[in-house]
Chain A
Amino acid sequence: MSKYVVAAANEILPGQRKLVNVRGRPILIFNLDGDYFGILDRCPHQGASLCKGQLVGLVESDRPGQYNFTRNNEIIRCAWHGWEFDIRTGKSRCEPEKIKATQYNINTKTGSEIIEEAYEAETFDVAVEDNYVVVHL
């Protein structure tokens, strides 16, 4: 498994997202409260770009008339048919065990770790003191 540096950590602030391209794969990176997540930018339903979708919360109900709204902006809703995917797990709202957005392992590394471990970072000037978002592929 190779590791690719795709962005400086401060390029994707909490609540933001960025579309990157790693070895021909469009990968959508999210920052949720400081944690980074990555999913393939293709809806598993009919292939729309998830990047164009809307961030929403999770609405659940224990019984008719009752609504619980949680996890604001942690769900991406597809730009076409509105399929919803949990950014933290990639799982779909409708069939979580069966239909999932392809997820990638994302973490952050310091500049010094990246230089030391010889990550692939062709397009980046890596500074020792900064943090970077890394995709494992």
Chain B
Amino acid sequence: MNIQLMDRVATDQKIKLAIADCDIHPAPKSVPVEIYPYLSKRWQDYMETYGIIYRQGFPTGPAFPKGQPNAARRDAYPPGGGKPGSDLDFMRSQHLDANNVQLGILNPLSCGQGVQNQDFSAVYCNAVNHWQIAEWTSKESRLKASLMVPYEDPSASVKEIDLWGGDSNFAQILLLSRTAEPLGQRKYWPIFEAACRANLPVAVHAFGYGGAPVTGGGWPSFYIEEMVGHAENTQSLLTSMVFEGVFERFPTLKLILVEAGFAWLPALSWRLDKLWNRMRAEIPHVTRPPSELIRQHVWLTTQPMEEPEPREHLLDTIEWIGWEKLLFATDYPHWDFDEPSRALPIRVGKEQKEAFFLKNALELYNLN
């Protein structure tokens, strides 16, 4: 018999710990119904006529379905129809209420970012910002929006940030990890500068359409390699940000790495420190050890959490990163959802547990 399972059934009956979920994906019920009201007729006609062109290697787009239809939990389809994540009432009953989510951060995907037509990308991101308030945050105070910016056009991104800066509906600025150039390069600095001005963290969610393969070694054959590749390309963008001097130039910048795993961070930091020690002349603008910069400026969401055996290795890894640097996330309604009561497969102290599941996020987003 499976004894673990019996324990877990018992766990379900306890009162659930309040949590923050720093990666929830809302979807429009229908783009014409929910997004078009915020797009001018010119851009509605454009979308109907020419569609959305992404910067990517395969002309028909990334392969779908990704493991499950719409990359979603098969039980996350709203009973009234529509895509997973498109119905607030169903999200409340299946997730926000059921899992005692006190703070949910919305990260809309495929919503205007990475679009090659820069003008279209900008207006689409703006429309999605309006939509998040109209359909989500104005109706549900537990939810906070992500400020969508057309990050390949930094000056348009800055306009969008300045437009909404100070609006409490937004908790962070959202980028995707696969940018056209490594994210630390100066092209993107105006975005970081505007983020500091608006006092908003910059969240970089895995995925996107940068034009380069998800791995450093070329286009992989399997979806499972894409899943692993997100950790790889997120390490590349973080390395770029460290060595380009982004954290030196913007000392108040807060960076959140979303859905790229986290167990790789200690090893990457050790490697960066070692090389930095030997090659300071190449990058004299980096005046502190990379691990220190990362510890000061970088947070990571937890999902998809690594599941090592023995499980205690996860504790060691979190100790190396710092308990205060992890933000719990489920990725609802996607298939690789981490169930809050079972995601952390080890016993930890009350203080650490509360920090991990809620307090780190409340502090980072200034929502205490």
A44 and B33 CA atoms in complex are apart in Å by 40
Complex alpha-carbon distance, A49 and B337, angstroms: 13
Complex contacts, B5 vs chain A, CB 8 Å: 40, 42, 44, 102
- Complex CA–CA separation, A96 to B338 (angstroms): 22
Cβ A42 vs Cβ B9 within 8 A: yes
Dominant SS among interface residues on chain A: loop
Contact check: which of B1, B68, B74, B338 meets A46 at CB < 8 Å? B338
Per-residue interface assignment for chain B, residues 56 to 79, with 1 indicating a CB less than 8 Å from any chain A CB and 0 otherwise = 000000000001100001110000
Contact of A48 among B4, B12, B73 (CB under 8 A): B73
Query: A40-B5, A42-B5 in contact; A81/B335 too (CB < 8 A)?
Result: yes
Residue interface mask B246-276, A partner, CB < 8 A = 1: 0000000000000000000000000000000
Q: Which residues of B contact A105 (CB under 8 A)?
A: none
* Chain B CB within 8 A of A57 CB: no
Given the known A-B contacts A42-B9, A47-B12, A52-B74, are A82 and B335 also in contact in the complex, defined by CB atoms under 8 Å? yes
Decide if B8 touches A48 in the complex (CB within 8 Å).
Answer: no
Tell whether, in the assembled complex, residue B2 and residue A79 are in contact, meaning their CB atoms are under 8 Å apart. Answer: no
Determine the distance from Cα of A100 to Cα of B5 in the docked complex, in whole angstroms: 9
Among B1, B12, B337, B341, point to the contact of A80 (Cβ < 8 A): B337
Nearest-CB distance from B247 to chain A (Å)?
35
Q: Are A46 and B343 in contact (CB under 8 A)?
A: yes
Interface flag for A53 (CB, 8 Å): yes
Residue pair B2, A44 in contact (C-beta under 8 Å): yes
Query: A54 near B: Cβ within 8 Å?
Result: yes
> How does the 8 Å CB contact mask read for A32-52 relative to B, with 1 for contact and 0 for none?
000000001010111111001
Q: By CB atoms of chain B within 10 A, which of A48, A99, A101 has the most?
A: A48
Neighbouring A residues of B343 by C-beta, 8 Å: 46
Interface: B342 (CB within 8 A):
yes
Instruction: Check if B97 is an interface residue, CB within 8 A of chain A.
Output: no
CB-defined interface of B326-361 with A at 8 Å, one 1/0 digit per residue? Answer: 000000000111110111000000000000000000
B73 pairs with A82, CB closer than 8 A: no
Which of these, A40, A42, A49, contacts B75 with CB under 8 Å? A49
Closest to B8 in A: A47
B339 & A46 in contact (Cβ 8 Å cutoff): yes
A114 to chain B, nearest CB (A): 27
Q: In the complex the two chains form, what is the Cα distance from A90 to B335 in whole Å?
A: 22
Establish whether residues A48 and B75, one from each chain, have CB atoms under 8 Å apart when the complex forms. Answer: yes
A79 engages B74 (CB within 8 Å):
yes
Q: Is the CB of B336 within 8 A of A81?
A: yes
Q: Which of B4, B9, B67, B341 contacts A82 (CB 8 A)?
A: B67
- Nearest to B333 among chain A residues (CB) is A80
A102 touches B335 (CB 8 A): no
B339-A79 in contact (CB<8A): no
Given contacts A53-B74, A102-B2, 7 further A-B contacts (CB under 8 A): A46-B343, A47-B12, A52-B73, A79-B68, A80-B73, A80-B336, A81-B337
Q: Enumerate 14 A-B pairs (CB-CB under 8 Å) in ascending A order.
A: A40-B5, A45-B342, A46-B338, A46-B343, A47-B8, A47-B339, A48-B73, A48-B339, A52-B74, A79-B335, A80-B74, A82-B68, A99-B2, A102-B5
